[in-house]
Amino acid sequence: MAADRLDRIHIRDLLLRCFVGIRDWERREKQDVVINITLHADLARACRSDDFADTVDYVAIKKRVIGLVEDGRFDLVEALAQAVADTALEDERVQRVDVTVEKPGALRFARTVAVEITREQG
């Protein structure tokens, strides 16, 4: 299926804490991050069959992302976003993934800073 015609599964506003940042205090204290993930896949078979075996197991992906983030240490939000994307793409049904990682309070006078990336299989 053409990439622009893939279906989407959204995991929205996953609030987690991890070590992310380059400053000394950021390496000692976990920071809040908000992660949004869009999984692009062909869901036509699952739509017709109503069978769990025919869809993307987004619960399993969410659990792997939680483990990765909460146990991880990242200097850059960009590296965290890439690790989340890599985790989602471990499921061969996911053809493309969009990941946005927000770090609330990272900038004075701004509610949040976000990095958004898109990655594809292969």
* Tens of pLDDT, residues 55-103: 999 999 999 999 999 999 999 999 999 999 999 999 999 999 999 999 9
Distance of alpha carbon 51 from alpha carbon 5, whole angstroms: 21
Distance of alpha carbon 95 from alpha carbon 107, whole angstroms: 34
May I ask the CATH class of domain 3-120?
Answer: alpha beta
Token pair 């390496």 is at which residue? 27
Distance of alpha carbon 77 from alpha carbon 42, whole angstroms: 29
Would you please indicate which residues are annotated as catalytic (active-site) residues?
103
Instruction: Write down the pTM of the prediction.
Output: 0.93
- Domain ranges across the chain: 3-120
